[in-house]
Amino acid sequence: MMNFKTLFLIALFLTSPLAKADNFMMIMGGGGEPEGKDTIFDSTMKTFGDTLKTSNWRYQVSFNGGHPETEAIMTSKYNKSEAPVSSFTADSYKKMISEYKAKILMGEIKSGDQLMIMVNTHGAAKGTTGKTHLIAVSGGNATTDLNQLSGTPLVSMDDLEELVKLTNEKGIKLGIVDLSCHSGNTMALKTNAPNTCIITATGPKHYGYAGDSAFTGKFVKNLKKGETLESAFLAARAQAIDASFPMISTDENDQIVAEVYAAITPYLYYYDPKADKLSDYLIASSKDCVACTRDTQFKVLIDKITALQSASSGTKSGFNGEELKKLLTDYKAGQDAIIRQEQQLGVGMLTKTEAFVTTAMSSLKGKGGKPVAGKFSLSMSWSDIIRAEPDKVMASISKFNATEKDPGSQASAFAALEGWKAIKEKQTQILTQYPQMKDAKEQGLKIAKSIGQNRDTAEKIALQEKKFYDEMYRQKQSLNSNDPCRKIIF
């Protein structure tokens, strides 16, 4: 027979925040796909939909729009959504974020609850503004430009920042899973967010991939009831077959990224007509200062692989880094050969910038008979200087000056004329010193392409990198149970 104290403890447990904790999820994506019946996201979304059917997560979905087979998956696999599935547009993206902020403020989502945000769409490289990166919504084709996603409407992952702040203030455990390309940029949302776990399909400088064999497919397959976000991430990362660099916002991952990400980045690049990061990288690396940094980073990377191999010798994992070192060394040699050819062409000088600043006086008098001065200021890269047509520009300026009556405009035109004379002189100087530079960029791209379509090489390196990462993570892994990636349980 239970005594009063036992009954009191049972009642206290049943009314505690832990007992009442609930799970909420926002599912968004599928944007930027060309016209057709289906999308590259379908397989992953089928798997995840099946998982959710047997879960206790309360969710809403804003996905795709305009692809019948994808829409059918949303209807059949996500029929427990708490609201009708909407097309993924800029308006629906912001609307869903606002709705979940309201749920928190009204107490529907409370301290101790779990909120997960799943984003599975095309993602752009980080621009010059914003903390994170842009992602594609429906209404355009992002696949013709996989870096900037020109041609499709975009929204920013920065829009989640207020939701991150609010969940952390309210003691809500937040998981953000960004499965898009360049998703490593979303790690910026972790700042001052101790209750937030962020998982990304790749690093800030790399593409992400769709399909069952890629990290995205492996992650949703490993996201099972009772699994932490960290355990699902580590299992998926080890199993994935793609040239990505998945990340998680744990201390262990942060240390690994700081130690090796920049160094290994070039060897996960490959040339492909539709997905080329290698050409621009090799052209940029033809600058002497960049080439030197590249060599230093490579040596540090090889040393770390060797040290890790030595440290794990005789252990259960028994990491062997010899294949990774060979693949990296061979791929670097191929890249170095191209960089040397581009250096001979002067390709690395194309981005060098020159500033042209000139002043001139008008031949006309201003108010009170005072002379009027004009100023010209322009910065140009060597590439732009080479392609400029200063004679045509100066002829146009001179024609303008012949009829100009305003002293100020005339003074500015005179200054511009002097500026373009200086640009012409610089152009002559460059082409005298580097006569081959006029076609250097085109030749540089041609040379870069000569390395071949080597996605297979990058993927072989990525497979070995995943073993390397896994061993580094294992050796660094702490018992910090307060890490949100270990506290958020699916």
Spatial separation of the C-alpha atoms in residues 269 and 258, rounded to whole Å = 19
335 contacts 450 by C-beta, under 8 angstroms: no
Identify any residues that bridge with 354 across adjacent strands, giving them in sequence order: 380
Backbone angles phi, psi at 99, to 5 degrees: -65, -40
Cα(368)–Cα(128) distance, rounded to whole angstroms?
A: 46
- Domain range summary for the chain, segments of one domain joined by +: 21-257+481-487, 278-346+444-453, 349-433
Q: What is the DSSP letter of 170?
A: T
CA–CA distance, 3 with 474 (Å, rounded to integer) = 47
Number of neighbours of residue 151 by Cβ within 10 angstroms:
14
pTM of the full predicted structure? 0.81
* Contacts of 47-50 spanning 24+ positions with Cβ under 8 A: 47/212, 47/217, 47/220, 47/221, 48/77, 48/118, 48/220, 48/223, 49/73, 49/76, 49/77, 49/78, 50/77
The strand pairing partners of 197, in sequence order, are 175
Residues 6+ apart with CB under 8 A from 12: none
Q: Return d(Cα 284, Cα 329) in angstroms, integer.
A: 20
Q: How far is CA 444 from CA 1, 77, 269, 281, 292, in A?
A: 85, 49, 17, 11, 19
Amino acid at 270: Y
Residue-by-residue pLDDT tens, the chain, 490 positions: 445 444 444 444 444 444 468 999 999 999 999 999 999 999 999 999 999 998 999 999 999 989 999 999 999 999 999 999 999 999 999 999 999 999 999 999 999 999 999 999 999 999 889 999 999 999 999 998 999 999 899 999 999 999 999 999 999 999 999 999 999 999 999 999 999 999 999 999 999 999 999 999 999 999 999 999 999 999 999 999 999 999 999 999 999 999 999 999 999 999 877 788 988 888 888 876 766 889 999 999 999 999 999 998 777 767 999 999 999 999 999 999 888 887 777 776 777 888 999 998 888 776 767 888 889 999 988 878 887 889 999 998 888 877 878 888 888 888 899 999 999 999 899 888 877 777 766 766 676 666 667 889 999 999 999 999 999 999 998 877 889 999 999 9
> By the 8 A CB rule, do 280 and 265 touch?
no
Topology of the domain covering 21-257+481-487: Rossmann fold (3.40.50)
